């Protein structure tokens, strides 16, 4: 069965000292959990120090973005091999904030996901529709397009370790969560797409996280759904008590 992954996306927040402090406190409060995984994604500048502080403490380190070239004249970018060098095991790819504010295309997301896989990082690929798209009844079409293009050219073997995150844009940072049934329906739809592309065995292994206003008071019910394999948490991951409660979910 799929091991749940509870991931914190710290976005553009926290100094190095604050990030190390929060990571260390979180490690203390989540120690000894063996039936679930925890990942945090601080800003680039805090990755190496947080990675050092977390050594041997059972929390995975992720970056929030990656560039697809490994090295060279790409001012301002950070590559997958360098993220590995900083201690990362995971990287978030195609977050809706990057798609919306930085013009990332489906093709960019595919290149980033493949670069991550090539370097031995696990990509957490984000997909999800806007409010307008949901109101027009197009959520499945949008998710279909995003999932298919993100995984284009990825072998079934590599696909089994990829992580997807369904994050409806209208639920991110808004306090509006998709209902557990609404989320599970799309997760099930995504799993069906994955079966079509890679076969049932691989599709059954791929974790699909839910993201969008996950909080201590809704995580249990969300995690009780069969196709929800974890959470990608923004706001509520910035505070040790709320994130460790989320990590310690009990299926509702």
Active-site residue list? 95, 167
Q: State the Cα–Cα distance between residues 102 and 98, nearest whole angstrom.
A: 5
Q: Tell me how far apart the alpha carbons of residues 226 and 197 are, in angstroms, rounded to a whole number.
A: 21
Considering the rule CB under 6 A, would residue 164 count as an interface residue with ligand PGA?
A: no
Q: Whose Cβ is closer to ligand PGA: residue 96's or residue 149's?
A: 96
Token couple for 98: 């990057």
Query: Which of positions 173-212 make contact with ligand PGA (CB under 6 A)?
Result: 173, 211-212
Q: Report in angstroms how near the CB of residue 245 gets to ligand PGA at its nearest.
A: 14
Residue span 5-24 as binding mask against ligand PGA, x where in contact by CB under 6 A, dash where not: ----x---------------
- Beta partners for residue 5, in sequence order: 37, 230
Residue 235 binding ligand PGA, by CB under 6 A? yes
β-pair partners for 165: 126, 209
Question: Which tokens is 219 given?
Answer: 């995580």
Q: CA distances (Å), 191 to each of 184, 188, 195, 213, in order?
A: 10, 5, 6, 22
Shortest Å, Cβ 165 to ligand PGA: 7
- Cβ pair 168, 128 in contact under 8 A: yes
Question: Is 51 among the residues that bind ligand PGA (CB under 6 A)?
Answer: no
Among 65, 104, 167, 184, which residue interacts with ligand PGA (rule: CB under 6 A)?
167
40 binds ligand PGA (CB under 6 A): no
Which residues contact ligand PGA (rule: CB under 6 A)? 9, 167, 172-173, 211-214, 232-236
């Amino acid at each position: 069965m799929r091991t749940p992954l509870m991931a914190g996306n710290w976005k553009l927040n926290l100094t190095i000292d604050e990030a190390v402090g929060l990571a260390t406190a979180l490690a203390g409060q989540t120690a000894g959990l063996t039936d679930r995984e925890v990942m945090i994604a601080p800003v680039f500048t805090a990755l190496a120090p947080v990675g050092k502080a977390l050594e041997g403490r059972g929390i995975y380190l992720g970056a929030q973005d990656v560039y697809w070239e490994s090295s060279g004249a790409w001012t301002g970018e950070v590559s997958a091999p360098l993220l590995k060098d900083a201690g990362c095991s995971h990287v978030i790819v195609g977050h809706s904030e990057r798609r919306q504010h930085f013009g990332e295309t489906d093709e960019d997301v595919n290149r980033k996901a493949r670069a991550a896989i090539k370097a031995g990082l696990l990509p957490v690929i984000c997909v999800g529709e806007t409010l307008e798209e949901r109101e027009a009844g197009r959520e499945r079409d949008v998710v279909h397009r995003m999932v298919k293009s993100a995984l284009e050219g990825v072998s079934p073997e590599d696909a089994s370790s990829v992580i997807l995150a369904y994050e409806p844009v209208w639920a991110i940072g808004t306090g509006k969560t998709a209902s557990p049934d609404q989320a599970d329906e799309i997760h099930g739809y995504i799993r069906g797409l994955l079966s079509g592309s890679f076969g049932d065995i691989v599709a059954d292994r791929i974790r699909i996280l839910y993201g969008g206003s996950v909080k201590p008071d809704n995580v249990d019910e969300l995690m009780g759904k069969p196709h929800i394999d974890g959470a990608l948490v923004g706001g509520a991951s910035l505070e040790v008590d709320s994130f460790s409660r989320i990590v310690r979910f009990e299926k509702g």
